[in-house]
Amino acid sequence: MTSVQNRQPLLSGNSLLAILSALVLLSCNAFKVVSNDNPVVHTEDKTEEPTKTKEKKKEEAKVEDFKPELITVDFFGEEFQVEPHKTEFKVALILPFYYNAQTPIEKRTSDYMVEYYQGVKQALTNLEMYGLQLKLYVFDDENNTDKLKSILGKSTLKTMDVVIGSIGESHVEMVANFGLANDIPVISPFTSLDSLKQPNTKMYCTTPSSMDKVDKVIDFISKNYATNSVIIVTDNQPYSDEMKSSYVTGFQKLKKKNVGYETTDYNGWGNVLEKDKETVVIVLSRNPTTVSTTLSKIYQTKRNVVVIGDNSWSNFQDNDYKFWDKMNVHLVASDYVNDTSAEVKNFKINFRLVNRTDPGVYAYIGYDQFMFMGEFLLAFGEHFPGYINDREFRYLSSNFHYQYKDGLNKNTNVFILKFEDFELKPVQ
């Protein structure tokens, strides 16, 4: 276990530039205290009971009338009346850092987790400037069930205000059960859960589930291509089969009839694509070769299509984005970075100065998740579960739109990204 108190200076060198960049980010913070002098107004009953003594009435009035004064806070442009709360918190971060990584998979996972942690540290530096005092306890569970059990068995864990981790459904459920038993909010940073065996109002999954993505795509189609035919293409892999089942259910609920199903080895595309208008083709594959071959077959028909795929496609090597532009490719994503925004540019400056490298996807995720957590802790303290659901909050790469369903709080925000002028842009 590594205990990290967020007291480090922002930079070891080039301090002035980094501080200026940090101040630009700070000026955009979503939380501020508006006032703390708004007491709760209570209606007093002036009817006196003659049988009570004056002393007794005074004692009862002291007990009944005592209510904490509320603090008015502005959170993302909306004012809330919030009970006073602490500003010092303890948070546990449990991830497979693999400090002693041996295999290629362990080393790759370790790199991702370290990158995530670099984003976390940058967020903590900013949050300390806001006034948040947060002690972070970092644990390496090595994606091992026995190690995770040992970590959750530590007495220190029961004193946490928030627990974050781990990865994988079984491990996340273990942490969720620990949080439920000890009345501690738990955040799953990467793994989404469709449901929990035991409902837990303090369990938060930050990554949208596959069903949330399907719902987003179906909503996008119903709004923009309601009368167009849809073809769902599968490659008979587990991911593909799972997603196809969700789409079948979703389109049945929508009562959309012109939906067809093909596999990636199909060669008769000219027979199933519409001639006079666009056909929506949903390709359920994450294999670069399979995706490329399927799109090439469709392109040869010279028919107009709208292709919808997974955001993992953007990580394929040697992508022909000019070709993707012609194919009207849309990608379904849980995060999106607008490289042209001032906040993103300043984040990159700070990240490079501290880490001597550019931030990757996991750095943005770590930064966004901890900035959001830190700001809602500052604004609402331990009362935050009553304030953050059913509202949308935008950060550098992530939107947070939590809804309580299926026994837990799910971030349901999903981006539909489209290639325009050779860059990805959100269309919804």
- pLDDT mean across residues, the chain: 86
413 in Cβ contact with 210 (< 8 Å): no
Q: Which of 290, 308, 333 is the last residue of a domain?
A: 333
Give dist(CA 419, CA 327) in Å, integer: 9
Judgement on whether residues 328 and 349 belong to the same structural domain of the protein: no
339, two tokens: 């490289």
Asked if 106 and 164 sit in the same domain, the reply is yes
* Same domain flag for 347 and 374: yes
Residue type, 37: D
333, 358, 392 - which closes a domain: 333
Q: What is the pLDDT of residue 87?
A: 82
Q: Is residue 419 part of a domain?
A: no
Please tell me the distance from the alpha carbon of residue 123 to that of residue 125, in angstroms, as a whole number.
5
Is residue 233 located within the same domain as residue 326? yes
Which residue matches tokens 């602490």? Answer: 86
For residue 247, is it within any domain?
yes
CA dihedral (244, 247, 288, 189) positive or negative: negative
Instruction: Note whether residue 15 is domain-resident.
Output: yes
In a domain, 175, yes or no: yes
Q: Which amino acid is at 117?
A: Y
| Chain segment 132-147, per-residue pLDDT in tens | 999 999 999 999 999 9
- Least confident residue range of 37-41, 210-214, 251-255, 401-405: 37-41
In order, the DSSP letters of 89-128 are EEEEEEE---TT--SHHHHHHHHHHHHHHHHHHHHHHHHH
pLDDT digits (tens, 9 = 90+) for 76-126: 888 999 888 888 999 999 999 999 899 999 999 999 999 999 999 999 999
**CATH code of residue 285:** 3.40.50.2300
Closest CA to 174 of 157, 161, 122, 159: 157
User: Is 425 among the domain residues?
Assistant: no
Region 26-50: mean pLDDT is 44
On whether both 203 and 216 belong to a single domain, the answer is no
Q: At what angle do helices 342-355 and 104-130 cross, to 10 degrees?
A: 110
CA dist., res. 147 & res. 160, Å (int): 19
The single-letter DSSP state of residue 334 is S
Nearest to 396 by CA among 361, 344, 350: 344
The yes-or-no verdict on residue 60 having pLDDT over 80 is no
Q: What is the pLDDT of residue 411?
A: 96
Instruction: Assess whether 19 and 158 both reside in one domain.
Output: yes
Which of 333, 361, 379 corresponds to the end of one domain? 333
* Residue 94, strand partner residues: 139, 165
**Whether residues 216 and 200 fall in one domain:** no
Which residue in the block uniquely carries the two structure tokens 């009368």? 227
196 burial (CB, 10 Å; 0-12 / 13-18 / 19+) is middle
Does 93 share its domain with 17?
yes
332/386 Cα distance (integer angstroms): 30
Q: What would the pLDDT profile of 383-423 be if each residue is shown by its tens digit? A: 899 899 999 999 999 999 999 999 999 999 999 999 877 77
Question: Taking a C-beta distance cutoff of 8 angstroms, is the pair 192, 401 a contact?
Answer: no
Same-domain pairing of 16 and 145: yes
- The strand pair at 186-188 and 2-5 is best described as unpaired
Instruction: Provide, for the chain, the percentages of residues in helix, strand and coil under a 3-state DSSP scheme, each rounded to the nearest 5.
Output: 40, 25, 35
Number of domains present in the structure of the chain = 2
Residue 375 covered by a domain: yes
**In Å, what is the CA distance from 317 to each residue of 287, 288, 292, 419?**
11, 8, 11, 17
Name the residue type at position 404.
Answer: Y
> Does any domain span residue 45?
no
What range defines the domain where residue 320 resides?
210-333
Q: Are residues 298 and 407 in the same domain?
A: no
**219 in the same domain as 203:** no
Tell me the pLDDT tens digit for each residue of 315-349.
898 888 889 888 999 999 999 999 889 999 999 99
DSSP letters, 251-266, are HHHHT---EEEEETT-
Q: Is the pLDDT of residue 23 over 70?
A: no
Same domain, 175 and 303: no
Query: Model pTM?
Result: 0.82
Nearest to 399 by CA among 427, 369, 378: 369
Residue 44 lies in a domain: no
